[in-house]
Structure 1
Amino acid sequence: MAAKAGLGSAPGRSLVCFALLIAWQTVAGEIRYSIPEEMQKGSFVGNLLKDLGLDLQELPDSGVRIVSTGRTPYFALNLKSGHLIATERMDREQICGQLERCLLHLEVLVEDKVRLVIVDVEITDINDNAPRFQEAQFEFRISELTAVGTRYPLEEAQDPDVGTNSLQGYQLSSNEHFSLEAQAGADADGHLDLVLQKPLDREERAVHDLILTATDGGDPVRSGTARVRVVVLDANDNAPAFSQPVYTVSVLENVPVGSLLLTVNATDPDEAMHSALTYSLRKLKDKASQVFRVDARTGEISTAGNLDYEEAASYEMEVQAKDSGDLSARSKVLVTVIDVNDNVPTITMTSLFSSVREDSPPGTLIALLNIRDEDSGRNGEVTCSIAANLPFRLQKTLDNYYSLVTDRALDRERVSGYNVTVTATDRGTPPLSSTTSISVQLSDINDNAPVFSQTSYTVSIPENNPSGASVCSVRATDRDWGENARVTYSLLEGEGREAPLSSAVSINSETGAVYALRSFDYEQLRELRFRVQARDGGSPPLRSNVSVRLLVLDQNDNSPHILHPASPSDGSTGVELAPRSSEPGYLVTKVVAVDADSGQNAWLSYQLLKATEPGLFSVGVHSGEVRTARYFVDRDGLKQSLVVLVKDNGQPPLSATVTVTVAVADSIPELLSDLSSLSAPAQPQSGLTLYLVIAVASVSCVFLTFVIALVALRLRRWRESQLLDSSSGTFGGVPVSHFVGIDGVRAFLHSYSQEASLSAGSGKCQFTLPKLTCSSTCQSIE
Structure 2
Amino acid sequence: MAAPQRGRDYRRFILLSVLLGTQREAWAGHLLYSVPEETDKGSFVGNIAKDLGLEPGELAERGVRIVSRGRTQLFALNPRSGSLVTADRIDREELCAQSARCLVNFNILMDKMNLYPVEVEILDVNDNAPRFLTEEMTVKITENTAPGVRFPLNEARDPDVGTNSLQSYELSPNHHFSLVVQNGDDGAKYPELVLERVLDREEEAVHHLLLTASDGGHPPRSQTARIQVTVVDVNDHAPVFSLPQYQVTVPENVPVGARLLTVHAVDLDEGVNGEVTYSFRKITQKILQIFRLNSHTGELSTLEGLDYEESSYYEMEVQAQDGPGSMTRAKVIITVLDVNDNAPEVTVTSVSNSIPEDTPPGTVVALFYLQDRDSGKNGEVTCTISENLPFKLERSIDNYYKLMTAKNLDREKCSVYNITLKATDGGTPPLSSETHISMNVADTNDNPPAFPQSSYSVYIPENNPRGASIFSVTAHDPDSRENARVTYSLSEDTLQGASLSSYVSVNSDTGILYALHSFDYEQFRDLQLRVTAHDSGDPPLSSNVSLSIFILDQNDNTPEILYPAPPTDGSTGVELAPRSAEPGYL
TM over 0.5: yes
After superposition, the C-alpha distances for 1:491-525 in whole angstroms (9 at most, x for unaligned) are 11335544321111111111212122233344545
After superposition, the C-alpha distances for 1:287-313 in whole angstroms (9 at most, x for unaligned) are 322222212221111222222222222
Are the structure 2 counterparts of residues 89 and 264 from structure 1 closer, same or farther at C-alpha, using a change threshold of 3 Å?
same
The aligned residue for residue 105 of structure 2 is 105
Please say if 1:25 is aligned against 2:24: no
The aligned residue for residue 634 of structure 1 is none
The one-letter amino acid of 1:365's match is V
Contact 1:17 1:125 in 2 (8 A): no
Equivalent pairs, count: 574
Please say if 1:414 is aligned against 2:224: no
After superposition, the C-alpha distances for 1:611-636 in whole angstroms (9 at most, x for unaligned) are xxxxxxxxxxxxxxxxxxxxxxxxxx
Are the structure 2 counterparts of residues 440 and 40 from structure 1 closer, same or farther at C-alpha, using a change threshold of 3 Å?
same
Q: Distance in 2 between matches of 1:188 and 1:410?
A: 64
Shift of 1:156: 0.8
After superposition, the C-alpha distances for 1:530-551 in whole angstroms (9 at most, x for unaligned) are 1211011223222111122334
Q: Unpaired runs of 5+ in structure 1? A: 1-11, 575-708, 712-753, 757-769, 778-782
Shift of 1:383: 1.8
The aligned residue for residue 45 of structure 2 is 45
- 3-state SS, counterpart of residue 59 of structure 1: helix
Q: Distance in 1 between matches of 2:187 and 2:269?
A: 32
- 3-state SS, counterpart of residue 56 of structure 1: coil
Shift of 1:140: 3.0
Contact 1:450 1:478 in 2 (8 A): yes
The aligned residue for residue 92 of structure 1 is 92
Contact 1:281 1:293 in 2 (8 A): no
Q: Distance in 1 between matches of 2:223 and 2:336?
A: 33
Are the structure 2 counterparts of residues 238 and 539 from structure 1 closer, same or farther at C-alpha, using a change threshold of 3 Å?
same
- 3-state SS, counterpart of residue 128 of structure 2: coil
- 3-state SS, counterpart of residue 45 of structure 1: strand
The aligned residue for residue 649 of structure 1 is none
Contact 1:535 1:541 in 2 (8 A): yes
- 1:683-698 equivalences under 5 Å are none
Contact 1:567 1:573 in 2 (8 A): no
- 1:245-324 equivalences under 5 Å are 245-324=244-323
Contact 2:366 2:404 in 1 (8 A): yes
After superposition, the C-alpha distances for 1:455-493 in whole angstroms (9 at most, x for unaligned) are 333344454443222222211111122222221110113
Shift of 1:69: 4.7
The one-letter amino acid of 1:344's match is A
Contact 1:451 1:476 in 2 (8 A): yes
Contact 1:20 1:45 in 2 (8 A): no
Contact 1:13 1:219 in 2 (8 A): no
Q: Distance in 2 between matches of 1:147 and 1:290?
A: 39
Q: Distance in 2 between matches of 1:124 and 1:478?
A: 66
Q: Distance in 2 between matches of 1:521 and 1:189?
A: 117
The aligned residue for residue 55 of structure 2 is 55
Are the structure 2 counterparts of residues 284 and 553 from structure 1 closer, same or farther at C-alpha, using a change threshold of 3 Å?
farther
The one-letter amino acid of 1:468's match is G
The one-letter amino acid of 1:183's match is Q
The aligned residue for residue 578 of structure 2 is 755
RMSD: 2.8
After superposition, the C-alpha distances for 1:57-113 in whole angstroms (9 at most, x for unaligned) are 44334443322455121112222211111112111111111112212122234447x
The aligned residue for residue 654 of structure 1 is none
The aligned residue for residue 73 of structure 2 is 73
Are the structure 2 counterparts of residues 487 and 527 from structure 1 closer, same or farther at C-alpha, using a change threshold of 3 Å?
same
After superposition, the C-alpha distances for 1:717-767 in whole angstroms (9 at most, x for unaligned) are xxxxxxxxxxxxxxxxxxxxxxxxxxxxxxxxxxxxx533xxxxxxxxxxx
Q: Distance in 2 between matches of 1:281 and 1:185?
A: 18
- 3-state SS, counterpart of residue 421 of structure 1: strand
Are the structure 2 counterparts of residues 186 and 528 from structure 1 closer, same or farther at C-alpha, using a change threshold of 3 Å?
closer
Please say if 1:467 is aligned against 2:466: yes
Contact 2:7 2:39 in 1 (8 A): no
- 1:119-518 equivalences under 5 Å are 119-494=118-493, 497-518=496-517
Shift of 1:555: 5.6
Are the structure 2 counterparts of residues 276 and 111 from structure 1 closer, same or farther at C-alpha, using a change threshold of 3 Å?
farther
Are the structure 2 counterparts of residues 497 and 354 from structure 1 closer, same or farther at C-alpha, using a change threshold of 3 Å?
farther
Shift of 1:115: 5.0
Q: Distance in 2 between matches of 1:383 and 1:173?
A: 62
Shift of 1:178: 2.8
- 1:698-717 equivalences under 5 Å are 709-711=574-576
The aligned residue for residue 23 of structure 2 is none
Contact 1:452 1:475 in 2 (8 A): yes
Contact 1:344 1:373 in 2 (8 A): yes
Contact 1:39 1:89 in 2 (8 A): yes
- 3-state SS, counterpart of residue 575 of structure 2: helix
Contact 2:14 2:34 in 1 (8 A): no
Contact 1:425 1:434 in 2 (8 A): yes
Q: Distance in 2 between matches of 1:13 and 1:466?
A: 100
Shift of 1:38: 0.3
Farther off after superposition, 205-214 or 78-87: 205-214
Shift of 1:565: 11
Contact 2:250 2:335 in 1 (8 A): yes
Q: Unpaired runs of 5+ in structure 2? A: 18-27
After superposition, the C-alpha distances for 1:301-332 in whole angstroms (9 at most, x for unaligned) are 12222222222221111111122212211111
The aligned residue for residue 22 of structure 2 is none
Identity of aligned residues (%): 55
After superposition, the C-alpha distances for 1:244-263 in whole angstroms (9 at most, x for unaligned) are 11111112122222222211
Contact 1:373 1:380 in 2 (8 A): yes
Contact 1:68 1:108 in 2 (8 A): no
Are the structure 2 counterparts of residues 98 and 537 from structure 1 closer, same or farther at C-alpha, using a change threshold of 3 Å?
same
Farther off after superposition, 543-552 or 458-467: 458-467
Farther off after superposition, 480-489 or 102-111: 102-111
- 3-state SS, counterpart of residue 93 of structure 2: helix
Are the structure 2 counterparts of residues 180 and 426 from structure 1 closer, same or farther at C-alpha, using a change threshold of 3 Å?
same
Are the structure 2 counterparts of residues 372 and 553 from structure 1 closer, same or farther at C-alpha, using a change threshold of 3 Å?
same
Q: Radius of gyration: which is bigger?
A: 1
Contact 1:445 1:484 in 2 (8 A): yes
After superposition, the C-alpha distances for 1:105-137 in whole angstroms (9 at most, x for unaligned) are 22234447x654332211111111112111121
Contact 1:281 1:319 in 2 (8 A): yes
Q: Distance in 2 between matches of 1:448 and 1:18?
A: 65
After superposition, the C-alpha distances for 1:42-61 in whole angstroms (9 at most, x for unaligned) are 11111122223333344334
Q: Distance in 1 between matches of 2:486 and 2:3?
A: 79
Contact 1:14 1:219 in 2 (8 A): no
The one-letter amino acid of 1:92's match is R
Are the structure 2 counterparts of residues 377 and 111 from structure 1 closer, same or farther at C-alpha, using a change threshold of 3 Å?
farther
Q: Distance in 2 between matches of 1:250 and 1:440?
A: 48
Q: Distance in 1 between matches of 2:10 and 2:524?
A: 97
Q: Distance in 1 between matches of 2:252 and 2:475?
A: 69
After superposition, the C-alpha distances for 1:544-590 in whole angstroms (9 at most, x for unaligned) are 111223344556655x547599995476778xxxxxxxxxxxxxxxx
Shift of 1:453: 3.2
Contact 2:57 2:80 in 1 (8 A): no
- 3-state SS, counterpart of residue 76 of structure 2: strand
After superposition, the C-alpha distances for 1:196-229 in whole angstroms (9 at most, x for unaligned) are 3333333333333333222222222222122222
